[in-house]
C-alpha cells in the first residue's frame, strides 16, 4: 500500500501508456486473445446470473399470464399452425418445382442452404454510440468472426469478435454494420448501413440505389446474392421512407428491420453456408 501511495503518479502514467499501446494494437481484431479468455471466464457467471434475473423479471412484468390469456393465445396459435401448414404444403410444392426447373435449366441454386447454431444473448452494450451485444458461445463451439446472426423474424447482425466462450456481435443498427441487400420485388441492389442518428429510432439506411431504380414504400428487403458473409434471401426489413436526392441523382431508402433489437434473447448463428 505504501508503495502505491509513494509512486502514484508514476503508476498512473505507466498504466496510461500501457493502455494507449494496448488500444492501438487491439483495434480491429477479430479474436480476443488471452485477456479476453481470462476475463470471459471471470465474468461469465456474473453475466449468466444477470441475464437469468432479467429474464425472470421480464417474464413476470410482461403481463400476468392468466388462464384466459393462455387459452386465447392457444386458440390463436392453433389457427396460425393450420395456416402455416397450408402455406408450408404450398411452398414445398414450389420448392420441388423450383428444383426441377433449375435442374432443367442447368442453373445454380439461388438460395443457399445453411447450418445454424442456437445461442443466447447474455449482455447488451449500455453505451450511446454503438449497438452491440454478447453471445454465450465462442470459438470453442466453432463460431468465428463475420458469421451472420438471425432471429425468427429476420437478419439481426453479425459476429465481429470471438473469445473462447463468448462472442461479440453487432446489430444491423450499429454504424459499423453494412450488408449487401436487394429489393425482393424488383431485384435492385443496395447497401444497407447502420446510421448514428437513425439508430435511436431503430431504423437503417439503404444506400447506393440508382436514381431510376424501382423501389416503393413497403417493399421487402432481403440479403443479396453478392455477399460473401450473408447467405442470400434472408429477409431484413421493409422500406418505410424514400429520400430522393436530385442533385446527386441517387435515392436512399429508410428501412425498418423485422428483428426486434430491444428484446433479443435467443438467436441463431449461421455457421456455414454453400454459395
Partner 1 sequence: MIRIIILTLLSLINFAVSSTFLNAIEIRGVLPNTMIIIITCTSLLRGSREGAYFGFLSGLLYDIFFGPAVGVNALILMLMGAFLGRGSAKFYRENYILPLLNCFFSVIAYESILFVIYLLFKGYFNYFYFFAAKIIPEAVYSAVLSLVFYRIAYGVNEFLEEREKGRRRVF
Interface with partner 1 (CB under 8 A): 4-5, 8, 12, 15-16, 18-24, 26-28, 32, 35-36, 39-40, 42-43, 46-47, 49-51, 53-54, 57-58, 122-130, 132, 134, 166, 168, 175-176, 196-197, 200, 262
The Cα 82–Cα 98 span in angstroms is 24
**Considering the complex, what minimum distance in angstroms separates the CB of residue 13 from partner 1?**
10
Q: Which is nearer to partner 1, 203 or 234 (CB)?
A: 203
Q: How far is CA 147 from CA 115, 140, 270, in A?
A: 11, 14, 6
Torsion (CA) 217, 185, 228, 235 in degrees, nearest 10 = 60
Q: Based on CB atoms, which residue is closest to partner 1, 105 or 128?
A: 128
Question: Whole-number minimum distance, CB 14 to partner 1, in Å?
Answer: 11
CB of 139 to partner 1, least distance (A): 15
Q: Computed over its alpha carbons, how large is the radius of gyration of the chain?
A: 23
Burial readout 99-115 (b: 16 or more C-beta within 10 A, e: otherwise):
eeeeeeeeeeeeebebe
Nearer to partner 1, 16 or 102 (CB): 16
Q: Tell me the C-alpha to C-alpha distance, in Å, between residue 99 and each of 87, 92, 94.
A: 18, 10, 8
Distance in Å from the first CA to the final CA of the chain: 60
Q: For residues 107 and 200, which CB has a smaller minimum distance to partner 1 in the complex?
A: 200
57 or 69: CB nearest partner 1? 57
Q: How far is the CB of 255 from partner 1 (least distance, A)?
A: 19
Shortest distance, CB of residue 154 to partner 1, whole angstroms?
Answer: 22
Compare residues 29 and 85 and give the one whose CB is closer to partner 1.
Answer: 29
CA 263/CA 266 separation, integer angstroms? 9
Q: State the DSSP code for 173.
A: T
Question: Least distance to partner 1 from the beta carbon of 239, Å?
Answer: 23
Amino acid at each position: 500500500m505504501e508503495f502505491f501511495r509513494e509512486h502514484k503518479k508514476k503508476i498512473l502514467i505507466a498504466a496510461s501508456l500501457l493502455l494507449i499501446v494496448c488500444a492501438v494494437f487491439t483495434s480491429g481484431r477479430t479474436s480476443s486473445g488471452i485477456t479476453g479468455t481470462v476475463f470471459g471466464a471471470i465474468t461469465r457467471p456474473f453475466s449468466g446470473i444477470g441475464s437469468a434475473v432479467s429474464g425472470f423479471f421480464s417474464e413476470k412484468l410482461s403481463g400476468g399470464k392468466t388462464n384466459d390469456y393462455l387459452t386465447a393465445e392457444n386458440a390463436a396459435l392453433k389457427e396460425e399452425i393450420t395456416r402455416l401448414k397450408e402455406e408450408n404444403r404450398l411452398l414445398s410444392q414450389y420448392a420441388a418445382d423450383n428444383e426441377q426447373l433449375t435442374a432443367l435449366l442447368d442453373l445454380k441454386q439461388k438460395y443457399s442452404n445453411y447450418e445454424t447454431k442456437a445461442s443466447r444473448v447474455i449482455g447488451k452494450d449500455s453505451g450511446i454510440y454503438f449497438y452491440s451485444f454478447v453471445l454465450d458461445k465462442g470459438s470453442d463451439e466453432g463460431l468465428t468472426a463475420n458469421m451472420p446472426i438471425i432471429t425468427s423474424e429476420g437478419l439481426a447482425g453479425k459476429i465481429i469478435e470471438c473469445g473462447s466462450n463468448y462472442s461479440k456481435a453487432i446489430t444491423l443498427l450499429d454504424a459499423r454494420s453494412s450488408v449487401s441487400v436487394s429489393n425482393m420485388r424488383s431485384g435492385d441492389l443496395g447497401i444497407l448501413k447502420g446510421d448514428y442518428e437513425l439508430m435511436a429510432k431503430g431504423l437503417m439506411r439503404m444506400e447506393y440505389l440508382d436514381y431510376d431504380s424501382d423501389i416503393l414504400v413497403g417493399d421487402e428487403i432481403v440479403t443479396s446474392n453478392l455477399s460473401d458473409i450473408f447467405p442470400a434471401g434472408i429477409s431484413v426489413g421493409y422500406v418505410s421512407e424514400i429520400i430522393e436526392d436530385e442533385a446527386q441523382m441517387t435515392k436512399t431508402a429508410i428501412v425498418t428491420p423485422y428483428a426486434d433489437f430491444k428484446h433479443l434473447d435467443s438467436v441463431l448463428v449461421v455457421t456455414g453456408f454453400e454459395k
